[in-house]
Amino acid sequence: MKSIRLHAPGDLRLHEEPFPVADQGELLVHVTAVGICGSDLHWFGEAGIGDAKLLQPLVLGHESAGVIAEGPQKGVRVAVDPAVPCQECEFCRQGAPNLCTHLRFAGHGLEDGALREYLTWPAGSLYPLPDALSDADGAMLEPLGVAIHAVDLGKLKAGSTVGVFGAGPIGLLVQQLAHISGAQAIYVTDVLSHRLEAALRLGATKAILATQESEVPEIMAATGGRGVDVAFEVAGENEAVEAAIYSVKPGGRVILAGIPADDRTSFPASVARRKGLTIKLVRRMKCTYPRAIRLVESGKVDVRSLVSHTFPLERAPDAFAVAAQREGLKVIITP
């Protein structure tokens, strides 16, 4: 079978490899769609993410869907949850598997991901897809799950005002979830105009080009000088973190979902302290796949329009180049 492995920064190579063999409790999946995530771009550009570094040629890809290829469930289309918790540690037992101390995660460290024709994965981490969802929709359930977890941390209330700082795919999903959670006004910022156009199409109250001169003043003016109730930073840039801190009301919440390239997050401590802010960081997701499937199947969340480019596996380097240049929204690879 064919696979794509990362050997060094920017060095993706096509390999011919043996088919994987399913262990007990696993199923063989023919991969049909893989999304390129911002964290994949960190691996691609920096050969690592945070304190995790490339130790051997790695198959990237953790947003994926496919078809079970053998056994009694052969032919069943599934979304693949990339996180496999141990189910035994303190945090798993407390219902926080995203904090598992022995977590396996596809496309990270030594765990090969989905940019290959076939993978084997635990049956309990495969979620059957309803007919209404395409394979690409199935791959989009992973970023939607992250957005769901972020909004859960934000504890939105009906009538809230929300700021979303970063209008990439996860930011646009946070925006949609804030809307169906009852947000009264949603202000979305980004440095790219085509992402702001997508935010307006998906119902943002106001889309603001992110600059130091206008971003915060526009939000404060729109909220009557009060600031937003909850601010979601989904850009991975300290400028966005700072804008979120300045734009949220005293006593408000700031949810940090972005991953900074230099593994550092900074903000003006005096402002955050004076406002008495609650700041929370998003660690992947927390048992969200069933909810994500229902939201997409019901039409309450639109993931399909976020897919802007599709490439075959052999053109994975081109796909990563497009994603790295932020030319569209979500880039999908179809093994």
Query: Domain 149-281 is in which class?
Result: alpha beta
Query: Is the per-residue pLDDT at 131 higher than 80?
Result: yes
Q: Is the domain defined by 2-141+285-334 classed in CATH 3.90.180.10?
A: yes
pLDDT given at position 300: 98
Q: How far apart are the C-alpha atoms of 155 and 61, rounded to whole Å?
A: 30
Rg (CA), the chain: 20
Cα angle 138-185-36, degrees, rounded to a multiple of 5: 25
**Stretch 286-302: mean pLDDT, rounded?**
97
pLDDT given at position 158: 96
pLDDT given at position 214: 85
Residues with Cβ within 8 Å of residue 213, at least 6 apart in sequence: none
The encoded tokens of residue 325 equal 């240049």
**Stretch 148-152: mean pLDDT, rounded?**
98
pLDDT given at position 54: 95
Residue with tokens 């993410």: 49
pTM: 0.96
Query: Is the per-residue pLDDT at 212 higher than 90?
Result: no
Return phi, psi of residue 130, to 5°: -65, 160
Q: Write the DSSP string, 72-112.
A: TTTT-EEEE--EE--S-SHHHHTT-GGG-TT-EETTBTTB-
**Stretch 254-263: mean pLDDT, rounded?**
94
Band of the pLDDT at 278, cuts 50, 70, 90? very high
- Give residue 160's region: left, alpha or beta (phi > 0; psi -120 to 50): beta
**Stretch 93-110: mean pLDDT, rounded?**
95
Domain range annotation of the chain: 2-141+285-334, 149-281
